[in-house]
């Protein structure tokens, strides 16, 4: 019996579309293009995504933690893996022995990595991360750590507001990074994430780091999405009910029906990463028809109103959650969040299908 036969909902990841999105970046710049595959490749599955990007020609990958890095390293002993979360104290020898490249976020981390290089009697790969305005991770512009012990691969920073066209902070950060970059004339530079890539070609430098755009999210929210859809999700109808005017739906009776109608209860809830904030706001689709969620999203179940449909969906049939009628960004907007959170919240109970 196939996994999809017993799964309450089916998540399909189109690896061909993912590879096409990667090639879109590669073909649109003179810079190298890395793949950001942190958070289980934005919820899409790190190993399948890694293999698809590797086949498409990607040779540099960014993850958030050393644990994320290891599953990739175990799949490929040679690929370059950079750990954005920095150099974990007490794990220095682990990074060095497994060929992981820490993104060094402080002078203290630089000093510890230099000592590690001394113990291993070799120049160890490293990335220097400078903060240019986000005040999250990174060194200050005036900090110039000693790097003689490193094989310094990259100097980078990260945009805070590049998803907002014309935000003044974008230019300020770019100017700050340009000044920092001048101190490292022979070293690769990286500034642009998915949205930064589209704002100004001068910001591409030597390496760009698309993340959400690889997975089909819109990197420029004010325009039509240039990326191909990667993730589709459908959920199984468990029961169809006839409800009367004045009755309610779900926990705490937050929705009261103002007319007789028909509802469908589907096999999905916040345990699957379908956010509770979508209660009484989000919608699913039956063909071209939007079916509003009524009542609160519960742990395993969601109720939708289907009384307006000319056809009558039946138990065992499917409603679209993500697909041609609803993008991850559109669903995220209804849930009061962003596509990043929707994707990285995708739960383990979905039956997963990977299309080549």
DSSP 56-101: TT--EEEESSHHHHHHHHHH-SSSEEEETT---TT-HHHHHHTT-E
DSSP H or E segment with residue 256: strand 255-256
Q: Is the pLDDT of residue 2 over 90?
A: no
Q: Please tell me the predicted confidence (pLDDT) of residue 5.
A: 81
The arithmetic mean of pLDDT across residues 151-159, rounded, is 98
**Beta strands at 289-292 and 283-286: parallel, antiparallel or unpaired:** antiparallel
- Which residue spans of the chain are classified as CATH 3.20.20.10? 31-215
In this prediction, residue 99 has a pLDDT band, given cuts at 50, 70 and 90, of very high
Active site residue 38: yes
Helices (H) and strands (E) in the chain, counts: 11, 19
Instruction: Quote the percentage of the chain above a pLDDT of 90.
Output: 97
Q: How many Cα neighbours within 13 Å face the side chain of 223? A: 11
Q: Are 115 and 83 in contact, with CB atoms under 8 Å apart?
A: no
Could you say which of 3, 22, 38, 189 is catalytic?
38
- CATH 2.40.37.10 in the chain: give the residue spans: 231-355
Q: Is 283 a catalytic residue?
A: no
**CA separation for the pair 187, 75 (Å, rounded):** 28
Q: Are 130 and 157 in contact (CB under 8 A)?
A: yes
Confidence of residue 1 (pLDDT cuts 50, 70, 90): low
How far apart (Å, rounded) are the C-alpha atoms in residues 322 and 240? 21
Which residues fall within 8 angstroms of residue 1, CB to CB, at 6 or more apart? none
| pLDDT tens per residue, range 234-254 | 999 999 999 999 999 999 999
Per-residue pLDDT at 171:
98
**Strand 189-190 relative to strand 150-156, pairing:** parallel
pLDDT averaged over every residue in the chain: 97
Tell me the mean pLDDT in the region 23-40. 98
Which class is domain 31-215? alpha beta
Catalytic residue selected from 115, 201, 245, 251:
251
> Using one digit for the tens of pLDDT, what is the confidence trace for 268-323?
999 999 999 999 999 999 999 999 999 999 999 999 999 999 998 999 999 999 99
Kindly report, residue by residue over 47-77, the tens digit of the pLDDT: 999 999 999 999 999 999 999 999 999 999 9
Q: Each residue of 302-332: b (16+ CB within 10 Å) or e?
A: bbbbbbeeeeebeeeebbbbbbebbbbbbbb
Helices 66-75 and 46-55: crossing angle, nearest 10°? 50
DSSP character string of 112-147: HHHHHHHHHTSPEEEEEEB-SS--SSSB-TT-----
Entry pTM: 0.95
What per-residue confidence (pLDDT) applies to 110? 98
What tens digit of pLDDT does each residue of 179-206 get?
999 999 999 999 999 999 999 999 999 9
Fold of 231-355: Lyase, Ornithine Decarboxylase; Chain A, domain 1 (2.40.37)
Cα–Cα distance measured from residue 56 to residue 33, given in angstroms and rounded to the nearest whole number = 11
Residue 4 has pLDDT above 80, yes or no: no
Phi, psi of 354 (to 5 degrees): -110, 115
Confidence of residue 3 (pLDDT cuts 50, 70, 90): low
């Amino acid at each position: 019996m196939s996994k999809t036969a017993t799964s309450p909902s089916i998540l399909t990841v189109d690896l061909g579309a993912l590879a096409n999105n990667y090639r879109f970046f590669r073909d649109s710049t003179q810079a190298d293009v890395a793949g950001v595959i942190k958070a289980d490749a934005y919820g899409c599955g790190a190993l399948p995504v890694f293999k698809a990007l590797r086949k498409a020609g990607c040779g540099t990958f960014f993850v958030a933690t050393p644990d994320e890095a290891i599953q990739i390293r175990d799949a490929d002993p040679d690929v370059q893996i950079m750990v954005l979360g920095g150099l974990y104290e007490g794990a220095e020898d682990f990074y060095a022995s497994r060929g992981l490249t820490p993104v060094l976020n402080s002078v203290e981390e630089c000093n510890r990595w230099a000592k590690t290089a001394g113990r291993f009697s070799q120049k160890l790969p490293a990335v220097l991360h400078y903060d240019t305005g986000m005040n999250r991770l990174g060194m200050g512009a005036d900090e110039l750590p000693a790097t003689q012990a490193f094989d310094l691969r990259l100097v980078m920073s990260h945009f805070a507001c590049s998803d907002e066209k014309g935000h003044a902070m974008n230019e300020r950060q770019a100017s700050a990074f340009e000044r920092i970059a001048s101190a490292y004339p022979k070293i690769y530079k990286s500034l642009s994430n998915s949205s930064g890539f589209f704002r100004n070609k001068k910001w591409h430098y030597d390496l760009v780091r698309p993340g959400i755009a690889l997975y089909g999210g819109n990197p420029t929210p004010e325009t039509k999405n240039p990326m191909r859809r990667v993730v589709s999700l459908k959920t199984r109808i468990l029961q169809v009910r006839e409800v009367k005017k004045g009755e309610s739906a779900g926990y705490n009776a937050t929705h009261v029906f103002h007319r007789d109608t028909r509802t469908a209860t589907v096999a999905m809830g916040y345990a699957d990463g379908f956010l509770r904030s979508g209660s009484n706001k989000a919608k699913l689709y039956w063909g071209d028809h939007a079916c509003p969620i009524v009542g609160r999203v519960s742990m395993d179940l969601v109720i939708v109103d289907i009384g307006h449909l000319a056809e009558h969906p039946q138990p065992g049939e499917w409603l679209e959650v993500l697909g041609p009628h609803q993008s991850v960004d559109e669903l995220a907007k209804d849930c009061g969040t962003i596509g990043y959170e929707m994707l990285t919240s995708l739960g383990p109970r979905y039956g997963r299908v990977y299309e080549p």
